[in-house]
Structure 1
């Protein structure tokens, strides 16, 4: 029970599969580990299939359920709308939630297009609601520690970042045509699903992008059609096949506003890589490396180390000095993937309490979306594409539609 003097945020979650479970777990755990005020309350969960969403509500601890997100938003016992639906639903739900005065937390990528994401940002700003986008990898303690090292100048001027996000879960040509392989639903493939995280981490750690040059590739052009596609799988696959119209892999180069350069690769065809989210950043005074599959560790190298002892050292970021780590277990009693969501929820609850939108928020989502579109444009034109040109094009589109 919430205490007499304890404020609460009543959450309405739209979606209940993979990310729905991750978000539900974070709402349930955040006040166990952290002294948050307000505390999130699992008020209602929403999904189209009544049988499944009712079961999800019971299993994950939600007080009630709805089968229509519009009814969820209309309820006066909901303060925050959390959107974990496929990408093509983000804009409509988020804008409606903002117009109803609800705070909004949304999965990445923010929308299908830059124009959509800008309308979402305009809606939350116009209605004065707190907003945040889920880039949970920012909230691994090791990544937060890397940010502190960079901001304190320990690496000096940043020269470059190389980031890879490698998976292999759709390599089988008979893997079904799930929604993540349909442009109409997801917008892009590995680019928006995986590289979006690398882009956000690069902006967080290195700075803003200036221009990009990229290419996209689809290796398997057709896949079996499924009756129902949810989570990372599908049911009821048929012998009939449909076209895959998003990328299986993306590769791009980047220049940053501060002069740094970067290389980015995202693919679902890197055999043996289940979730290979990795980055290395090199500066004039040192370097850092991070691998999500060993998320508690940060490899650090400093040029100033004495000769004969130079090299990468591994820091296990589980001590009280490391961001968020002190709320959990004694040093080296490692935390996991789910805790990146829990740590993010600390910031979301604080933002709602104090009336500000924590980072990353919808403004970050817009910047990230612009980079995704710049890579797609570069693939089409076979040229470097500047972020300023992408924003100018989006502004023209918005003016025409207005």
Structure 2
């Protein structure tokens, strides 16, 4: 088994999750991180040998096998291209880029130069999501009539909640759909094998302005914001959206995406209505898959590799009765990506690559245009 040297750019919450998951693979050494400020301190905090302020210096000095990009969206393009121009495999957080044009350029370069890439659409890798995919693939679900669900969070519930994701110049024209709605539709298209061909979207921004802290957020621990501690910032991206979908087989779909839904920290829902049975999956009960039938008892399929499909079992590391969740999806995704890198296989695998990242940017662009123009938009590509 090949031993990999890996560098990670960006050491926030997601960057730290990448580092932890990579170490669990057993054959990956995270040799350096790049971040600003305090790269050396962040490297030490995560037990990484070296920290760099400049990702270019890190890549040129360390000459890694793989680079992971866990930074704000606006920086993804230049970082991914810099690594790929040096023949380095790249794993990028979603959305792939800030703009559709950037995504097209990255996907085209990776394909032309046979570079193996990955996008961290980790929701594909929940075992019961894989089981749903296996049931669709085998014909057990039948013809798909409908798909619906959503992704609900409350981390931006108050107007005092603030993040770089609220700034279009950094994150892009969409926020809620690009950030978490992209996970939902990627999961749905991966599970069903269907492609959305038309969308109708409705956006709303409930907090027209937000209070951006003028000092580090932890400064406010235990005390109320004072007027002089923040700036009122106008908000131009959506807190909420609902999107209707038409799929290439004639199926219809709908999702509701919100980052201002109190009490839901990170809930993903997926319901698939087929001609033979229906499926329901809830990330807050992620180790069970509900199967609904008209003429027989409904069932709940637990996460147990001894009784699930081979596809689902391959994404499971522990026996039945031992819960697996969010961190494990990172591990399974990276395991598949690194296996492809070791084998030199740049063909379409079960993990998301830059082509899939481009696909989500195409969908997001259509969703944004639909919301602005208040009409159905056909998907190009």
Q: Same fold (TM over 0.5)?
A: yes
Q: How does 1:38-53 map to 2 (within 5 A)?
A: 39-50=27-38, 53=39
Tell me the residue number matched to 1:280.
271
How big is the shift at 1:55? 2.9
1:283-320 Cα offsets, whole Å, 9 max, x none, are 00001111111111111123452xxxx33x21111333
Tell me the residue number matched to 1:368.
360
Aligned-partner Cα distance in 1 for 2:214–2:7: 27
1:235-262 Cα offsets, whole Å, 9 max, x none, are 6883321111111011110001111110
> Kindly tell me: are residues 63 and 56 of structure 1, through their superposed partners in 2, closer, same or farther at Cα, counting changes over 3 Å?
same
Quick check: 1:220 aligned with 2:207? Answer: yes
Aligned-partner Cα distance in 2 for 1:235–1:245: 27
Tell me the residue number matched to 1:395.
none
Unaligned runs of 5+ in 2: none
Would you say the 8 A contact 2:305–2:313 is kept in 1? no
TM-score by length of 2: 0.91
Quick check: 1:341 aligned with 2:330? Answer: yes
How big is the shift at 1:76? 4.8
Q: Secondary structure at the match of 2:364?
A: helix
Tell me the residue number matched to 1:329.
318
> Kindly tell me: are residues 363 and 314 of structure 1, through their superposed partners in 2, closer, same or farther at Cα, counting changes over 3 Å?
same
Quick check: 1:87 aligned with 2:73? Answer: yes
Aligned-partner Cα distance in 2 for 1:205–1:7: 30
How big is the shift at 1:191? 1.0
Tell me the residue number matched to 1:399.
none
1:318-358 Cα offsets, whole Å, 9 max, x none, are 33354257853331111121001011111011110111244
How big is the shift at 1:22? 0.8
Quick check: 1:190 aligned with 2:185? Answer: no
Q: How does 1:143-154 map to 2 (within 5 A)?
A: 143-154=129-140
> Kindly tell me: are residues 235 and 265 of structure 1, through their superposed partners in 2, closer, same or farther at Cα, counting changes over 3 Å?
farther
Q: Secondary structure at the match of 2:109?
A: helix
Of the three residues 292, 298, 301, the one matched with 2:289 is 298
Aligned-partner Cα distance in 1 for 2:215–2:63: 31
Aligned-partner Cα distance in 1 for 2:313–2:239: 35
Would you say the 8 A contact 2:160–2:212 is kept in 1? no
Quick check: 1:18 aligned with 2:18? Answer: no
How big is the shift at 1:104? 0.5
Tell me the residue number matched to 1:3.
none
Aligned-partner Cα distance in 2 for 1:326–1:110: 24
Aligned-partner Cα distance in 1 for 2:98–2:272: 29
Quick check: 1:381 aligned with 2:373? Answer: yes
Quick check: 1:97 aligned with 2:92? Answer: no
Would you say the 8 A contact 2:6–2:65 is kept in 1? yes
Of the three residues 158, 164, 172, the one matched with 2:158 is 172
Would you say the 8 A contact 1:80–1:102 is kept in 2? yes
Aligned-partner Cα distance in 1 for 2:318–2:340: 25
1:188-224 Cα offsets, whole Å, 9 max, x none, are 2111111010110111022111000101110101112
Quick check: 1:158 aligned with 2:153? Answer: no
Tell me the residue number matched to 1:352.
341
Quick check: 1:130 aligned with 2:116? Answer: yes
Structure 1 runs (4+) deviating above 6 angstroms are: 233-237
How big is the shift at 1:54? 2.3
TM-score by length of 1: 0.87
Aligned-partner Cα distance in 1 for 2:322–2:140: 27
> Kindly tell me: are residues 324 and 93 of structure 1, through their superposed partners in 2, closer, same or farther at Cα, counting changes over 3 Å?
farther
Aligned-partner Cα distance in 2 for 1:326–1:380: 39
How big is the shift at 1:60? 2.3
Aligned-partner Cα distance in 2 for 1:327–1:164: 25
> Kindly tell me: are residues 189 and 142 of structure 1, through their superposed partners in 2, closer, same or farther at Cα, counting changes over 3 Å?
same
How big is the shift at 1:27? 0.5
Q: How many residues align?
A: 366
Q: Secondary structure at the match of 1:251?
A: strand
Root mean square deviation of aligned Cα: 1.8
Tell me the residue number matched to 2:44.
58
